[in-house]
Structures are given as structure tokens and as C-alpha cells.
Structure 1
């Protein structure tokens, strides 16, 4: 998963490896398969990873839940990183990191999956390969904002990802554009940067990308494959 400097990706919500192949021909730095809010089973995720390898587009997965089996299977098939929803406390972050690690963690080991070269790597090299998962913790509740510094301080957490919509709901609001949500997001940006961690977020368009990049957000997920397709199709039709 790309590290350092501004990196731009998009969400993938369509269960088709051809989408990854097409995006791999673009200038995107990465993509995120949204297994939390879109219909991806384990076999489909595996096909998405096959396409990722074919075109050299790093693929993270927003997992549907924090559980050892989900994290194990996602990393075994070769995901370059995890976007982990609802990390509200440092303890949840520590649990997540333990689930990603063979050494000193609770991740089960097999040398046969894609991440270990289908049995071609020694056990030691396979264990080394398993240490490299890029882990972004979603900060999407008022509680998580309060605990952001402690979450960022957990060894193995690479960054904080601001989840605007759920953050607004947790604050009793129904607009991600509410100034109180923006203020909370600014706190997370400042906290992540002070901790030397990557700060990420979802934005709808290039203007938002540039605005938040200027504030130090480095890992930006712009729109989704669905939105990009719809907007491109709309652009073909004259206004009427």
C-alpha cells in the first residue's frame, strides 16, 4: 500500500474484477473494496485481489466487521491493507493489530495462501510478509474522536481515517457538513499529524480532495466506481 505523500484512490462497490482491471489503467494510487457496505463474499474478494495483482493496483479492503476470521481471510488473499470501521478505543485498535500479526498476535498461519506465495516462501519469510499489512482505523464516533490520540499511539496502526457520515450520526446530526462535524474532523487531522500517522478520509470530488490535502490529509478516497460511472454517463447528455 502506498505510503508517504498524497495518495488518491476510490471506493469499489461493484463485485467485478474487471473494475479493478480498468482502474489499474488509471493514475490512481490505490483502491478500496467496500466490503462493509457492498455485497462482497470471500470468493469475490479473492477474484478482486487476482485482478489487483494482474494490474499492479494496490487494493485495501474496508472489512465488514472486526473479527479474527474476517481479518485472517482478507489478509491471506493478499489485501495490501485494511480499512477498519468503528475503531472507538485504543483497545479495539490493539485487538485489530493482534489479529493482523502471526508473531505476537493471534492470526492463524498457513503458508498456502496468496500472501505467502502459495507455499513457495519459507515459514520465516511468510511470517515477514504477514507483518506488512497497512492498517487504517476509522474514526467515526464522538468517542473515537476523544480517543484518537490513544488509537494513533497503538503500535501497528498506520493511520486514522475520518468517517464523516457516521461521525455526524454519533453526534446526533444529520449533515456531515455541519460545522461541529468539521471541527471534530479537524481535531482528528491534527491528532494524526502530531502522532506522525497517515490521515485519510473520503471526499466526493476533486475540490474537496484539494481542500483537505492542504490540511495534511494524505490518503484520500475520492468517490466510488458507482459514482464515477454515473457522473461520466450524465456528462454525455446535454442539459435539458
Structure 2
């Protein structure tokens, strides 16, 4: 059962974090916070499969869904991730329906796709679950990330590809592609994201986005039902900087006196 996908299909709002740190302990520590999902990032971190596997196990007994953002569209990279039993994957920077169809083929077995068959892997309970192969297409959840002007212009065509479960807007790369380098909160970028979310929902597919707390409600109102509220390292550095600044500045003021 893929609880994340079930909620997605019901259009039930889900909230999570990108997990950028490379330890199972951090993932384990975040579970009691109650997030619906953690999105382990294999695109922008120096992670490795054994690290990812330990993080999967850290979430295994919880109701926090384990999602992975893939490093790219290479179908070879999907095999070990899916074989670990990770049922929801996101592919970055999808620009058109052809790329969307390639991503679908990477996560599905023949004849619908090209996913290789692994026997004694965690996804099949190490060979004990003979029904896994027939049921995997229904259990696997495929999210495609929209991060360019081209991707935005092709939302309807991308969403129409059979096997795509949701589209997730990446505001930072989208901002950069629109000429506002890393300015995810630029008014023009926010408007493009809001329009994108509404268009995704109009296709009948689920819409997701990375959003700071100040923008999250607007995206929810526009129809987003999966929202990344930041990252584990983002929360860590923000809290650490505030704590350090408070005490360092306080002591510096006393020394000046």
C-alpha cells in the first residue's frame, strides 16, 4: 500500500521536507514531527545508495512517506531505488511529454516500461511477495518536476501522459530559467507558480510545490496538495544562525561596554 499515493489521489493536503542531510538519524529524528513525507534528495546531495537505504529503514515503521528526488531521468538509476521499496519518486526538470513518457517507462515493468526485474530485493520482501510485479504499477507514484518556462508551457501535455501521478513545481530553478536567478519569491515567479498550480489542477493531476511558510497558504488556495516547507538543513542552519547571532552579538555588546 502506498499511503502517500492514496492521499494524493484523494487530493488530501500533504506536507513535508526535502531531506538534504546524509544520515538515518536525522530522518529518524524528524519522524515524530509528524510530516506526511520526507523527500530524500539524490539530485543536489552527494548521497549514495547505502545511505539512502539506511534512511528508508529509518522511516519503515512510521507513517512518514519516503520519497526520493532522482538525480535525473537515466532509467538505470531508478532500478535500485525502486527495488529498495521506495514507492514514490520525483524526476527533476521535465520539459515535455516525451520526457514524461520516458520517466513513466523507467518506473514500470514491460510491456508498459523498461524497468528491470529484481528478485531478492526489499520491494518484493526478498522474493516473498509474488504479487508485487503485477501490482507495482498501481503502487508506484511518479511525480514530475516542472522547473523551466518550457515545462510550464507544456503542463497540459505532460499531465496527459498515462502513468504520471502529479506535477511538482520547483520555484528556484524556474525563477532562474525565467531570468530571476534563484529568486523564488520574485513577484513574477510567484505568479508563474500560482498559474502553474492552477493549470495542473485543471488537468485533474495533483499539484505540488516547494514553498516557504509565507507563500504556502497561497499555493494551497490555488490547489496545491503536496507542499515541501523547506529542508532539514535549511531548518538547522536557520536555527543555528539565529542562536549564534544572539549570543555572539550579546557578548560583543558587553565587551564594548
For the aligned pair, the TM-score class normalised by the smaller chain equals over 0.9
Q: Does 1:86 align with 2:98?
A: no
Equivalent position SS for 1:182: helix
For residue 142 of structure 1, the aligned residue among 130, 138, 149 is: 149
CA drift of 1:163 comes to 1.0
Q: Which runs of 5+ in 1 are unaligned?
A: none
The structure with the larger Rg is 2
What is the CA–CA distance in structure 1 between the aligned matches of 2:216 and 2:20, rounded to whole Å? 20
CA drift of 1:135 comes to 1.2
Q: Does 1:176 align with 2:184?
A: yes
Counterpart for residue 18 of structure 1? 25
CA contact (8 A) 2:194 2:219 kept: no
Q: What are the Cα deviations for residues 79-124 of structure 1, in whole angstroms up to 9, with x where unaligned?
A: 13111101000010011011100142110112211111111111x4
Counterpart for residue 105 of structure 1? 113
Give the alignment's Cα RMSD to 1 decimal.
1.7
What is the CA–CA distance in structure 1 between the aligned matches of 2:39 and 2:33, rounded to whole Å? 15
Q: What are the Cα deviations for residues 40-68 of structure 1, in whole angstroms up to 9, with x where unaligned?
A: 11111111111121334211101111111
Counterpart for residue 172 of structure 2? 165
Alignment of 1:1-240 (within 5 A): 1=4, 2-3=7-8, 4-103=11-110, 104-122=112-130, 124-129=131-136, 131-174=138-181, 175-204=183-212, 206-234=213-241, 236=243, 238=246, 240=249
Q: What are the Cα deviations for residues 192-215 of structure 1, in whole angstroms up to 9, with x where unaligned?
A: 1111111111112x3322222122
CA drift of 1:130 comes to 5.0
> In structure 2, do the counterparts of structure 1 residues 106 and 209 end up closer, same or farther at CA, with 3 Å as the change threshold?
same
What is the CA–CA distance in structure 2 between the aligned matches of 1:212 and 1:135, rounded to whole Å? 21
What is the CA–CA distance in structure 2 between the aligned matches of 1:125 and 1:64, rounded to whole Å? 25
CA drift of 1:235 comes to 5.1
> TM-score, length-normalised on structure 1?
0.92
Equivalent position SS for 1:55: coil
More moved, 59-68 vs 163-172? 163-172
What is the CA–CA distance in structure 2 between the aligned matches of 1:44 and 1:132, rounded to whole Å? 24
CA drift of 1:234 comes to 4.5
CA drift of 1:182 comes to 2.4
What is the CA–CA distance in structure 2 between the aligned matches of 1:25 and 1:233, rounded to whole Å? 21
* Structure with the higher fraction of residues in helix conformation: 2
> TM-score, length-normalised on structure 2?
0.87
Equivalent position SS for 2:57: helix
What is the CA–CA distance in structure 2 between the aligned matches of 1:146 and 1:125, rounded to whole Å? 36
CA drift of 1:17 comes to 0.7
